Structure 1
Amino acid sequence: MDTSLFERLGGEQGIRNIANDVVDLHRVNPVISARFAQSDVSALKESVATFFIAGSGGPQVYTGPDMRSAHQSMNIADNEYMAAVDDVMQALSNNGIGDAEKAEVLYIFYNLRPDVVGV
Structure 2
Amino acid sequence: VEAHMNNPLIKVRFLPYRNEPERLATVKQHLCDFLGAGTGGPEQYRGRNMPEAHRGMNVSAQEYMAAVDDILSTLDKHKIDEHTRKDVLAIAYSLKDQIIHV
* Shared fold per TM-score greater than 0.5: yes
Matched with 2:31 is: 48
Distance 2:36 2:53 in 1: 18
Where structure 2 has 5 or more consecutive residues not aligned to the other structure, the ranges are 18-22
1:105 partner letter? V
Alignment of 1:65 with 2:65, yes or no, is no
Pair 89,54 (structure 1): closer, same or farther in 2 beyond 3 Å: same
Distance 2:83 2:98 in 1: 24
Distance 1:56 1:100 in 2: 9
Name which of 18, 26, 29 aligns with 2:7: 29
Pair 57,99 (structure 1): closer, same or farther in 2 beyond 3 Å: closer
Percent identity of equivalent pairs = 38
1:29 partner letter? N
Corresponding residue SS for 1:54: helix
TM-score normalised by length of structure 2: 0.87
Name which of 72, 75, 83 aligns with 2:58: 75
Shift of 1:60: 3.0
Shift of 1:53: 2.0
Distance 1:117 1:103 in 2: 21
Deviant stretches of 4+, over 6 Å? none
Distance 1:33 1:59 in 2: 30
The 5 Å alignment of 1:81-92 reads: 81-92=64-75
Distance 1:102 1:59 in 2: 17
Matched with 1:97 is: 80
Kindly tell me the number of residue pairs found equivalent between the two proteins: 97
The alignment's C-alpha RMSD in Å is: 1.2
